[in-house]
Chain A
């Protein structure tokens, strides 16, 4: 029987409704284990809980990752096996970089994983390294993120030199939104410059060092560890058909606990996720996927399943798993204006269109938010937004355009009101979304 056939006939594991678990909560996969109060889980703690790491050869790991259809959880949702296969096919010994820097300001999932489950991340990282035959794994963290850095450092010490482990290296990078972009991370760990590269060749084939460079997210690595222990079928069944596996989601904006990370096991709507996070009713709007994500109208988002196909139908994507809540009473245009200004400031300043285009978007959005923009300004906004996608080395401008255009659509009525010079009902609402965090500054 071919592998494909066996996949078609794989059993579907029935689930009794979705599990929405916090750190240490029942039913969790990645977040299972001790509660937050107990600090980082030690090595023996993980081994007692899960048993010894199952031995696996490179080809076993590759086929398990292939069968799981795990996609990168840093935002790009690129199939991991394709990245790994590209590295295997390219000449040279690959390097693996685990990106734990989490430069999305409101996202906390990698922070949470590295701070509380460092050994799960390391186990996954070692498996990825073995899959591609890498001898070196770089754990890249944001320098000012104290907890994850300490936890990973201790974890590496506890792990010691296990048989078959790669050489571990810690990298402490600078903050900034685009400094966490894959090519910027690859460049930083090679030469200390955290700026995105213009890639005509994928990093996995040839990175800045000339060797194949696999840059993958901390959550992705943790999933590799989980799926090797559970088996790809059981792991897949913890998600949906189009989004297999469990997902880590960070709550942001007007939620009782901003920065709360919830693990979704099974299928749930965004509404169910938000209810579990303490949001009782549909908000005005929801920002899905990060600051470079997509606004969805509150009720539509509330009913939408947290799953790739459903989100794509609404024009959104899970991105880094951020779910941001805009409360009734706040203005989506004012918030978007603030976010756009922040994102414009986070440009690496390398590519002309980003340097010149993003401030135009920010200025137009500010004008729109303040009620001083007219038709011409709106036209200028659209012209700029049309010219930006695909123009930069990285997709930073594309993300900002996505945010702005989705705002114009979802907050259509506010656009009309603001353009007519009617006062904004929410001008003095305090900012809903943080514009600094592990990547850009300190969180409260």
Chain B
């Protein structure tokens, strides 16, 4: 199961909370704004962490899709 995370840069305010929940899939750039890592580990664990990161973001900047055509946000 492949998790594709998307950070909406127009919403991200650089709290950095997302990386606390999903450190394997998200990282902070030079200015402290979140961005997806180049490779995100596959599997259920990533899905659970991505879900938590998306819920934790105070600006709702994180969304993710699970490859198999199903979409969750």
Contact = CB atoms under 8 A, between A and B. Distances in A.
Interface of A: 195-198, 200, 350-354, 356-357, 383-384, 387, 391-393
Main secondary structure of the interface of A (DSSP, over half): loop
Given A353-B29, A383-B30, A384-B30, A391 B10 contact: no
- The number of chain B residues touching the other chain, given as a range, is 10 to 19
Which of B11, B12, B30 neighbours the largest number of chain A CB atoms within 10 Å of its CB? B30
A356 B32 CA distance: 10
A387 B9 CA distance: 14
Contacts of B33: 351-353, 391
Contacts of A353: 9, 29-31, 33
Contact of A393 (B9, B30, B31): B9
Interface of B: 6, 8-14, 29-33, 35, 63, 65
18 contacts: A195-B10, A196-B10, A198-B9, A198-B11, A351-B9, A351-B10, A351-B33, A352-B13, A352-B29, A353-B30, A353-B31, A353-B33, A356-B30, A356-B31, A357-B31, A387-B30, A391-B33, A392-B9
B63 A200 contact: yes
A197 B31 contact: no
Contacts of B65: 200
Contacts of B14: 352
Given A350-B10, A353-B29, A391-B35, 5 more contacts: A196-B10, A350-B9, A352-B9, A352-B13, A352-B33
Main secondary structure of the interface of B (DSSP, over half): loop
Contacts, number: 46
A200 B7 CA distance: 10
Nearest to B14: A352
A210 to B, nearest CB: 15
Contacts of A357: 30-31
B54 to A, nearest CB: 13
Contacts of A350: 9-10
Nearest to A392: B9
Contacts of B30: 353, 356-357, 383-384, 387
Given A200-B6, A200-B63, A351 B12 contact: yes
A381 to B, nearest CB: 13
Contact of A391 (B9, B11, B63): B9
A387 B29 contact: yes
Given A352-B13, A353-B29, A384-B30, A393 B8 contact: yes
Contacts of B11: 198
A391 B35 CA distance: 8
Contacts of A354: 9
A440 B44 CA distance: 49
A387 B14 CA distance: 15
Nearest to B73: A200
B66 to A, nearest CB: 14
Contact of A352 (B6, B12, B63): B12
A350 B10 CA distance: 5
A392 B10 CA distance: 8
A198 B61 CA distance: 10
